[in-house]
């Protein structure tokens, strides 16, 4: 990569912001990560399920999602909830999501999402090797307890093969072969061998360390205003009235990005989708393979000798408070699939919550801001921030003209202004 002395400020220190900062620092940019908590403790990336999932090639806005979501709204322990509130932007987002939840949206984006995910998988393996971060390559199993669930996932497996993602439909015997030391109450599932998992906190810490070693800075501050000269932003003003010189800006602050996008005259539809995770320090059984529990929508990830259990999607604005009933729903679903575990194993456990930045069509916003020559958006990755972080960093590096390797991607479909 060529050297470059330009000052780049990446606003947002989560998985996307750090991936962007890492690629740009390696290209020689002078990188500053600006975040109100640059340690990453508030990031939705730090304690998530840690999965890298080419299997997730269907965007969140898909056929059947609305109907299932309405049913779940009536259950206080369900994996989905939309908190009604007097917020025009939320209702506009709901309308856009409703309009996008169809087969046409899936057909439009599935190949791009698959291509991005597979490329990002290759990049994250390279990243892990360079940064000495362990990435476990044993695939992911979507476990099913019902015949209908297995039929639905079999259809997903058929579609996966069409877009280049490997998938194997498994009965009980094959499931036992994949994870022989764990007791499970399932009828079968689908194994996606290209998926992998890691400890996200370990990766983010390694990225911060490497960026710092290349001269990068981390500032605990919040951007509140931009000073322009013509079509360029020249300085960023923080909440403490400090002014930071900048040559390039990348907005990568997750669910908070729409606030800054408005400073550029852009409406960026986004809602925070709250999720929870809990990490068992001494699990009674330890799976070898990470998994998703079809009927419960729960993610299960082995992390060394620990076990992380995560789930729910609460459309709740930016509220990070913990809803005990939703957490109870995660625990009960997990114990139904893994009967060696009991709810009391979770007594006194720390509960983490984070906000996934969700767009109405389930696809991220990646690309330049309109009417500005030196500002780029990289946000809206929903549950795929860890999976798509490396490829997003590579895309931004290409858009800044410092990287030309890797296959071309149809990133014009991800334009930040696509909702007007």
Q: How many CB atoms lie within 10 A of CB 228?
A: 15
Q: Can you give the pLDDT at residue 180?
A: 96
Query: What pLDDT score was predicted for residue 420?
Result: 78
Which class is 7-414 in CATH? alpha beta
The whole-number pLDDT of residue 407 equals 67
pTM of the entire predicted model: 0.95
Report the alpha-carbon distance of residue 95 to residue 104 in Å, rounded.
16
The whole-number average pLDDT for the span 211-231 is 95
Evaluate whether 142 touches 192 at the Cβ level (below 8 Å): yes
CB-side exposure of 241: number of CA atoms within 13 Å?
A: 0
Confidence label for 76 from pLDDT (cuts 50, 70 and 90) = confident
Query: In 65-171, which residue ranges form alpha helices assigned H by DSSP?
Result: 65-72, 88-100, 103-131, 147-162
63 near 103, Cβ under 8 Å?
Answer: yes
Give the pLDDT confidence of 5-38 residue by residue, as tens digits: 799 999 999 999 999 999 999 999 999 999 987 6
Distances (CA, A) of 267 to 92, 138, 264, 295, 408: 11, 41, 9, 35, 28
pLDDT digits (tens, 9 = 90+) for 37-69: 765 555 567 899 999 999 999 999 999 999 888
> Helices 385-399 and 15-26 meet at what angle, rounded to 10?
40
Mean pLDDT of the region 334-359 = 97
Overall residue count recorded for the chain in this entry = 420
Model confidence pLDDT, tens digit, residues 145-156? 999 999 999 999
Rounded average pLDDT over 122-141 = 97
Tell which wins on pLDDT, 400 or 3.
400
Residue 406's pLDDT is what? 62
Residue 84: CB partners within 8 Å, gap ≥ 6?
none
pLDDT at residue 175, rounded to an integer: 97
- The mean per-residue pLDDT over the stretch 304-308 comes to 96
pLDDT band of residue 1 (cuts 50, 70, 90) is: very low
CB 318 within 8 A of CB 355: yes
């Amino acid at each position: 990569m060529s050297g470059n002395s330009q000052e780049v400020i990446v606003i947002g220190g989560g998985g996307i912001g750090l991936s962007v900062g890492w690629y740009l620092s390696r290209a020689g940019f002078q990188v500053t990560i600006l975040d109100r908590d640059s340690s990453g403790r508030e990031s939705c990336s730090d304690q998530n399920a840690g999965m890298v999932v080419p299997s997730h090639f269907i965007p969140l806005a898909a056929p059947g999602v609305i109907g299932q979501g309405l049913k779940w709204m009536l259950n206080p322990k369900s994996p989905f909830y939309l908190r009604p509130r007097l917020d025009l932007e939320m209702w506009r987002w709901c309308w856009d999501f409703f309009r996008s939840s169809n087969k046409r949206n899936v057909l439009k984006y599935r190949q791009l999402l698959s291509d991005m995910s597979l490329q990002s998988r290759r990049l994250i393996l390279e990243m892990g090797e360079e940064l000495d971060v362990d990435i476990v390559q044993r695939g992911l199993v979507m476990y099913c307890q019902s015949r209908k669930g297995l039929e639905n996932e079999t259809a997903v497996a058929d579609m996966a093969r069409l877009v280049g993602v490997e998938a194997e439909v498994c009965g009980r015997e094959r499931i036992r072969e994949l994870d022989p030391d764990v007791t499970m109450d399932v009828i079968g599932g689908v194994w996606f061998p290209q998926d992998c998992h890691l400890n996200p906190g370990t990766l983010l810490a390694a990225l911060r360390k490497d960026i710092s070693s290349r001269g990068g800075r981390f500032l605990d501050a919040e951007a509140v205003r931009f000073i322009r000269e013509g079509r360029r932003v020249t300085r960023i003003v923080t909440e403490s009235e400090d002014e930071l010189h900048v040559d390039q800006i990348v907005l990568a602050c997750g669910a908070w990005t729409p606030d800054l996008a408005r400073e550029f005259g852009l409406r960026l539809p986004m809602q925070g989708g709250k999720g929870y995770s809990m990490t068992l320090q001494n699990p009674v059984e330890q799976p070898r393979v990470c998994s998703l529990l079809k009927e419960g929508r729960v993610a299960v990830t082995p992390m060394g000798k620990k076990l992380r259990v995560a789930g729910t999607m609460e459309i709740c604005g930016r509220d990070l408070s913990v809803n005990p009933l939703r957490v109870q729903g995660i625990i009960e679903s997990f114990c139904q699939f893994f009967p060696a575990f009991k709810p009391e194993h979770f007594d006194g456990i720390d509960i983490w919550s984070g906000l996934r930045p969700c767009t109405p069509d389930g696809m991220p916003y990646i690309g330049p801001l309109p009417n500005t020559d030196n500002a780029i958006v990289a946000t809206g990755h929903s549950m795929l921030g860890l999976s798509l972080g490396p490829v997003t960093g590579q895309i931004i590096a290409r858009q800044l003209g410092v990287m030309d390797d890797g296959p071309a991607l149809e990133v014009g479909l991800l334009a930040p202004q696509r909702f007007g």
